[in-house]
Amino acid sequence: MEELYDVIILGGGPAGLTAGLYAGRGGLKTLLLEKGQDGGQIALTAELENYPGQLLEGETGLSLAGRMTEQCRRFGVERAADTIQSVRLDGPVKELTGERGTYRSRAVILATGAAPRPIGCENEARFVGQGISFCATCDGALFRGLEVYVAGGGDSAVEEAVYLTRFARKVTVIHRRDRLRAARSIQERAFANPKVAFLWDSVVVRAEGTDVLEAITLKNVKTGALSTLRADPADGMLGLFGFTGYTPNTGLFAGQLALEEGYISTGEDMSAGLPGVFAAGDVRRKSLRQVVTACADGAVAAVAAERYLQAQ
Ligand code: NAP
């Protein structure tokens, strides 16, 4: 019989890492499962301005996540790197099966987060990594001196557009409406930046190029008119970053948990509808998705899991 954990945390973003910190510190035998690098979406973020107390010069999402990981380790959280392919969440013992094995626990905290939504244009898959990107921190420097376009109008699109001006000659935000969704403070920074331009009422419908992205075709959603933006011949390519929102990573839980628009519905204690099952972070239905709220969810979920286990 393989080891039985008190709690397994699925996902190593801020929600999962905070749940790990609280569960480990609470003396629970805890396993944290993560398929890639820790940090979730903040691992892709260059600057974190709105995490309380974050005033360190040069702090990136990745460096903050690194300290969260270290804190989990100090409190005895065990780790496994695996991609979980199926879960069994009912019954007193939860079972998570991945490529490398099956993991069992009496409680689980699901902190699988969300993944970037595709831009939705023709040829998108062909040009990912060849001009199309979903991570300004990872790929911004590849577009030094070039023209870059950003699809989307929310906090991510506008904040990352400003960040991309460090590298790009010009950054144009392409938004499907005539007003941004982004917070006012973020908008103001973009409007004040002479390298940031806006194309309103437009969506990207096609990407083109021989090997790398050389042109994008936009559609004006009000008039239906199509227009093609081509890379300057001297540049040879252009960049297109997609920040059109996120899709929750809940495919594994469909049929076992109640989902609302794909997100896990939870109670105030992060309970997810089955005994011993909790959810935390961007994967759950909530009004504000921030690092600080992900961390708060993780703490609440771990304490609720501890209480659940004590009552068994
Ligand atoms: P978001 O708020 O869902 O915004 C997505 C944007 O993409 C919207 O402007 C939306 O347009 C547009 N969009 C959606 N589908 C599209 C499509 N098919 N084609 C073209 N455009 C499309 O996503 P987000 O900006 O990534 O933010 C996600 C969450 O993280 C939010 O809660 C946000 O507040 C938070 N966040 C916070 C910060 C911060 O506080 N510094 C930074 C980043 C993210 P419409 O406006 O027309 O719907």
Q: What is the pLDDT along the chain (312 residues), one digit of tens a residue?
A: 579 999 999 999 999 999 999 999 999 999 999 999 999 988 877 777 789 998 888 888 899 999 999 999 999 999 999 999 999 999 999 999 999 999 999 999 999 999 999 999 999 999 999 999 999 988 899 999 999 999 999 999 999 999 999 999 999 999 999 999 999 999 999 999 999 999 999 999 999 999 999 999 999 999 999 999 999 999 999 999 999 999 999 999 999 999 999 999 999 999 999 999 999 999 999 988 989 999 999 999 999 999 999 999
29 within 8 A of 52, measured Cβ to Cβ: no
What's the angle, vertex CA 145, arms to CA 144 and CA 150, rounded to 5?
A: 75
Cross-sheet strand order for the sheet of 202-208: 202-208, 215-220, 226-230
Q: d(Cα 178, Cα 271) in Å, to the nearest integer?
A: 39
Task: Identify any residues that bridge with 109 across adjacent strands, giving them in sequence order.
Answer: 9, 278
- Measured from CB, residues less than 6 Å from any atom of ligand 1 are 50, 120, 151-157, 159, 176-177, 181, 203, 243-246, 289-290
CA 151 to ligand 1 centroid distance, Å:
10
Angle between helices 14-25 and 291-311 (to 10 degrees): 40
Instruction: Give the model's pLDDT for residue 227.
Output: 98
Maximum separation of any 2 CA atoms in the chain, in Å = 68
Q: What are phi and psi of 14, to 5 degrees?
A: -55, -35
Of the residues 38, 139, 155, 297, which is catalytic?
139
Instruction: Give the model's pLDDT for residue 45.
Output: 76
End-to-end Cα spacing for the chain:
21
CA 87 to ligand 1 centroid distance, Å:
30
Q: Which of 9, 8, 12, 15 is nearest to 289 (CA)?
A: 15
CA 153 to ligand 1 centroid distance, Å:
6
Q: Is 295 a catalytic residue?
A: no
Instruction: Give the model's pLDDT for residue 57.
Output: 83
Whole-number Cα distances in Å, 286 to 175, 203, 258, 290 = 24, 27, 14, 10
Q: Model-level pTM?
A: 0.84
Instruction: Give the model's pLDDT for residue 133.
Output: 95
User: How would you class 154 by CB atoms within 10 Å of its CB: exposed for 0-12, middle for 13-18, buried for 19 or more?
Assistant: middle
Question: Residue with structure tokens 């050389």?
Answer: 214
Instruction: Give the model's pLDDT for residue 243.
Output: 97
123 within 8 A of 207, measured Cβ to Cβ: yes
**Helix ranges, 75-183 (H):** 124-127, 136-139, 155-164
Instruction: Give the model's pLDDT for residue 55.
Output: 83
Q: Is 178 a catalytic residue?
A: no
Residue from 51, 135, 156 to probe ligand 1 pocket by mutation (most atoms less than 8 Å from CB): 156
Instruction: Give the model's pLDDT for residue 24.
Output: 98
User: How would you class 179 by CB atoms within 10 Å of its CB: exposed for 0-12, middle for 13-18, buried for 19 or more?
Assistant: exposed
Q: Is 72 a catalytic residue?
A: no
Q: In the structure encoding, which two tokens stand for residue 272, read together? A: 């997810």
CA 65 to ligand 1 centroid distance, Å:
22
